[in-house]
Structure 1
Amino acid sequence: MNTIQPTVNWVKNRVRQARDDQQQLFEAGLNGLNLVKREGKEIELNSGERLTEFLSCSYLGLECDPRLIQGAMSAVQSFGVQFAAARTRALLPPMRELDEQLNRIFQGHSVTFNSVGSAHLGCLPLLGSGELPSYPLRRGPGWIVDRAAHASMQVLQGILCQFGPVLRCDCSDLEQVEHACSTAVAAGNTPIILTDSIGSMRGLYPVNRLLQLAERFDGYLYADDAHGTSIHGEAGGGYALFAADQRQRARLILLSSLSKAFGATGGAITVHTAADAEMIRRHASTYTFGGPLSMGGVGAAVASGKIHLSPELGQLQADLWRNVAVIDGLLGPVLGNHLVASPIRFVRVGAESDAINLALHLRRQTIAVTTAVFPVVAKGEAILRLAISASHSQTQLEHLASAVGSGFDALGIRQGGRGDEQ
C-alpha cells in the first residue's frame, strides 16, 4: 500500500513506461485494426482478413439486436442526432424514459453520462466535496484506490488529492483495505473505496466484504461495475448489486456501463436518494458541461432497457453463461478466471514477446483477441484476454480452444503461466 503525492506526474510515468510495449502491439498489427464489415462475431478487415473476434465486451450481443437499431433510428428521426443544450436546461422524452428504466434496473436513483469515465470525472469531485446529501464526510475523504482499478479512475488521482489523501492498495486483499480504512479514520477522514467489481483483467472483487468494511469504518464503496452490468441480476442490475447485502446498499455508489453488455452507449451512476441524483444533475461538471447525449445512443438504450425489464434478459444471460462454461470445459484451468462468474477469460503468457507471438498465431488461425501488456497488466505478466459472448457459437468456441492449444505447442510456450484465478 502506498500514498500518492500530489506532485507525482502519474500520466508522464505511465506513458514513458508503456511506450515501448504498446509500440510493439501496433507494429505487429494487433492493435489499430481497421474493420470494414461485421456479421455477429465475424469481422472483416480492410486487408480482406475475416476473423472471429473475442474483443468486444458486448457480452449479450444486444448491440446487433434489431430493436436497439430501430430504437436508435426512431430517436434520431424524432429529435435529430443530438439536442445541443445542457440537460440542466432541457430533457427530451427518451432521456426521461431512460432515467426511469435505469432507476428500476439499478434499484436506486440513476443519472446518465456520455461514458462511465465522464461519470467518474464529474461525480468523484462532487463526492469528495461532501455535498452529496446521503454521503456526508468527516474532515474530508480518504480515497482508497484499487491498484488495478480502471484507468478512468486512476488518471484522476491528481484531482482526488485536492480533496484528501489517496492510498493505493489491492482491494481484493481485505487486510490491506482494512488497514487503509484505519489510516483514513485515524487522520480524521472518511474512507471511500474505489474499485471495479469485475476486473477487466482480473476476476471478481469481494463487493460484500468491502461494503462491510465501509460500514464498519463509516465510509463508502464506489464500485465501477462496467463489466458486470446486465450479465448478473434479475433485471441486469449487475454484479455489485447481485453481491451486495441489501442492508448495506446505502453505502454503495454504483457505476454502470450502457456500452458493454447493455448494448448501447453511455454510463450511469446510481445513488441512494433523489436528492443525491438532483445534486449530481445540477453540479457534476461533466453532466452540466459535458455536451449532449447522442440521441441514437439514448434510443438504443431505451430499447435495451425494455429487454432488461422483461423475462427475455434471463435467457440472454443463460446463453452467455452456457458459453462461458463451454470454454472453461474446453481449456480448463489454463484459463485465468476459470470457473469464475465473469465473461472475461484470459490466457497467462508472461513475456510480452511471447504474448504477441501467441496472438499472431491466433490471428493466422482467423481469431482476434486482446493482447494485454503494460500498463494494462504488470511488466512480464502479459496475457491474452478473451471476451466471451452469448453470440459466440459452439464451433467458434471450439476453434478458439484448438488454436490456443496449438499455439502453445508451436511456439514452445509453457501453458498457463501462473494459471490461478483471481
Structure 2
Amino acid sequence: MNTQQPTVNWVKNRVRQARADQQQLFDSGLNRLELVRREGKDIELSSGERLTEFLSCSYLGLECDPRLIHSAVSAVKSFGVQFAAARTRALLPPMLELDEQLNQIFQGHTVTFNSVGSAHLGCLPLLGSGELPSYPLRRGPCWIVDRAAHASMQVLQGILWQFGPVQRCDCSDVEQVEQACSTAVAAGNTPIILTDSIGSMRGVYPINRMLQLAERFEGYLYADDAHGTSIHGTSGGGYALAAADARLRHRLILLSSLSKAFGATGGAITVLTAADAEMIRRHASTYTFGGPLSMGGVGAAVASGDIHLSPELGLLQAALWRNVAVIDALLGPVLGNHEVASPIRFVRVGAERDAINLALHLRRQGIAVTTALFPVVAKGEAILRLAISAIHSQTQLECLANAITDGFDELGIRQGGRGDEH
C-alpha cells in the first residue's frame, strides 16, 4: 500500500481529459435544459419542446405531492424562507419534528445537513479524528474508497489523507475490499470503507459482505445510500439498512438523501447513539457553518416523513418496482442493471459520439435521458442513464423502449462498454 499522499493535481488532469467530450455534450444541447413547465414526468422547455423525462432521481414522485407543497409553504409562512443562525444556537419546531421522524425511519440517531455532500465534508473529518464515541480508531484510519464512489466523496481525498492513508479499490469486489482491510490492519490502522450502496452509474453493492469484513477487521462501513433512500425498507430506511444484518449495524454509518426519492431537500447521517449525534451537531463544521436550512425544504421533508411512516409508502414503492419490471421486460438484458434492485437502468453505448447521437435520437422522439460521458464513466464506455419513477406511465415506458430499439437500428450503432452490474 502506498502510504504517501499523491502530489499529482488529479483535478486538473481530469478536467483536461474530459474537456473535449463534455464540450460535445453541451454543444449538442443535451445538457442544461431550460424547463418552463412540468406535470408529472412531462416537461416543457423554453424552446417549446415537450418531453417525457427520465432524468429526475425522485423515484417516487413525492416532490410534486400536494401535501409536501402545502407543508413547505406553511413552514415558510411561519418562519420565513430561512433562519440565518447556526442550529447550535437556535432550532425551529419543524427541524425538531423532522429529526424525530428520521430517527424512526433510519433506525438510529440522525443529523440533517443541507446536502449529502455537506454531510460528507462535515462528518468524515470528525470520523477520522477518532472523537465519535461509538467509532473508536486504532492508530488512525485507513480510508478504503470505492473507485466509483460519488464525486462528493472522491473530491475529499486530499482531506482524508490528513487523517490516514487512502486506498482505492472496487468495492463490488469483496476480495479487493478484504485485501485492503488486511493491509490497513497490518499497518496498525482502522479500515473505514467508503462506498455508495446503489451506484449512480452502477448497480447495487454487497453491503452485508462489507459489513462482515468491517466486523472481522474491527473497522466501519460508511455507506452513501442516496439512491437507495425511501425505495427500500418498510419505512423507507433505504437499501443499506435493508441489506444489513441487524447484528452488524454497529459497524454501519448511514448517509441518506432527502433530495431524491424522499421528495424534499437535504442530506442526513445516521449514527449509533445520541452521543454520536450530539458530537456531530457540536463539532461537524458544515452543521454549524454550512448555512441555514431551507425552511421550505424542512417543511416538505416533514410531510414526506409522515408518508414514510404510513402504509402509503409501501404502495409507492410497489408502483416503482412494477415500472422497473416493465422496462426490464421490454428491453431485457440489453439494459445495464437488468433485474437489479435499483431504479436506475443504463443503455450501454460505448463511443462518446454514438451516445450523444442516440440521446439526440431519443430527444427527437420526445424523450430526455442522462448522457454520461467521462469523467462520470470511463473513456469509451459512454452510457445513457434512465431514472425510472413510480409515476411513469406504461405508455411512457413503452415509448422509451421503442425509441431505444429504433435508435440503435436507425443509427447503426453497435452497443459497447462494460456496463457494470453488481
Residue correspondence of structure 1 range 80-229 to structure 2 within 5 A: 80-229=80-229
* CA displacement, residues 36-59 of structure 1 (integer Å, 9 cap, x when unaligned): 110110011010000000000000
Change over 3 Å in CA distance of 1:287–1:324 after alignment to 2: same
1:276 partner amino acid: D
User: The residue matched to 2:264 in structure 1 has which SS?
Assistant: coil
Cα deviation, residue 368, structure 1 = 0.2
* In 2: Cα distance, 1:415 partner to 1:151 partner: 26
Residues 2, 169 of structure 1: 8 Å contact kept: no
1:308 partner amino acid: H
Residues 145, 166 of structure 1: 8 Å contact kept: yes
Residues 347, 416 of structure 1: 8 Å contact kept: no
In structure 2, the partner of 1:286 is 286
Residues 381, 418 of structure 2: 8 Å contact kept: no
Cα deviation, residue 3, structure 1 = 6.6
Residue correspondence of structure 1 range 17-416 to structure 2 within 5 A: 17-415=17-415
* In 1: Cα distance, 2:209 partner to 2:351 partner: 34
Residues 255, 269 of structure 1: 8 Å contact kept: yes
* In 2: Cα distance, 1:259 partner to 1:415 partner: 33
Aligned-residue RMSD, C-alpha = 1.1
* CA displacement, residues 379-414 of structure 1 (integer Å, 9 cap, x when unaligned): 000000000000100000000000000000011112
- Paired residue total: 422
Change over 3 Å in CA distance of 1:416–1:378 after alignment to 2: closer
In structure 2, the partner of 1:14 is 14
Cα deviation, residue 13, structure 1 = 1.9
Cα deviation, residue 19, structure 1 = 1.2
User: The residue matched to 2:255 in structure 1 has which SS?
Assistant: strand
| Alignment TM-score, normalising by the size of structure 1 | 0.99
* In 2: Cα distance, 1:421 partner to 1:347 partner: 12
* CA displacement, residues 47-76 of structure 1 (integer Å, 9 cap, x when unaligned): 000000000000000000000000100000
Residues 44, 50 of structure 2: 8 Å contact kept: yes
Q: Please list every run of 5 or more consecutive structure 2 residues that lacks an aligned counterpart in the other structure.
A: none
2:272 partner amino acid: H
* In 1: Cα distance, 2:80 partner to 2:4 partner: 45
Residues 350, 415 of structure 2: 8 Å contact kept: no
| Alignment TM-score, normalising by the size of structure 2 | 0.99
Cα deviation, residue 159, structure 1 = 0.3
User: The residue matched to 1:222 in structure 2 has which SS?
Assistant: strand
Change over 3 Å in CA distance of 1:419–1:285 after alignment to 2: closer
* In 2: Cα distance, 1:235 partner to 1:146 partner: 28
* CA displacement, residues 86-137 of structure 1 (integer Å, 9 cap, x when unaligned): 0000000000000000000000000000000000000000000000000000
Cα deviation, residue 421, structure 1 = 2.9
2:302 partner amino acid: V
User: The residue matched to 2:377 in structure 1 has which SS?
Assistant: coil
2:28 partner amino acid: A
| Matched-pair identity in % | 89
Cα deviation, residue 262, structure 1 = 0.1
Change over 3 Å in CA distance of 1:55–1:2 after alignment to 2: farther
* CA displacement, residues 124-173 of structure 1 (integer Å, 9 cap, x when unaligned): 00000000000000000000000000000000000000000000000000
Change over 3 Å in CA distance of 1:91–1:126 after alignment to 2: same
Cα deviation, residue 18, structure 1 = 1.3
User: The residue matched to 2:278 in structure 1 has which SS?
Assistant: helix
Cα deviation, residue 293, structure 1 = 0.2
Residues 172, 206 of structure 1: 8 Å contact kept: yes
Residues 169, 176 of structure 1: 8 Å contact kept: yes
Once structures 1 and 2 are overlaid, which stretch shifts more, 410-419 or 349-358?
410-419
Residues 4, 167 of structure 1: 8 Å contact kept: no
* In 1: Cα distance, 2:410 partner to 2:421 partner: 25
* CA displacement, residues 233-256 of structure 1 (integer Å, 9 cap, x when unaligned): 000000000000000000000000
Change over 3 Å in CA distance of 1:14–1:354 after alignment to 2: same
Cα deviation, residue 420, structure 1 = 6.3
Residues 202, 420 of structure 2: 8 Å contact kept: no
* In 2: Cα distance, 1:386 partner to 1:359 partner: 11
Change over 3 Å in CA distance of 1:5–1:420 after alignment to 2: closer
1:224 partner amino acid: D
* In 2: Cα distance, 1:77 partner to 1:163 partner: 44
Cα deviation, residue 419, structure 1 = 5.7
Cα deviation, residue 5, structure 1 = 2.4
* In 1: Cα distance, 2:236 partner to 2:95 partner: 19
* In 1: Cα distance, 2:215 partner to 2:99 partner: 28
1:255 partner amino acid: L
* In 2: Cα distance, 1:416 partner to 1:153 partner: 28
* CA displacement, residues 251-290 of structure 1 (integer Å, 9 cap, x when unaligned): 0000000000000000000000000000000000000100
User: The residue matched to 1:398 in structure 2 has which SS?
Assistant: helix
* In 2: Cα distance, 1:146 partner to 1:207 partner: 13
* In 2: Cα distance, 1:405 partner to 1:3 partner: 49
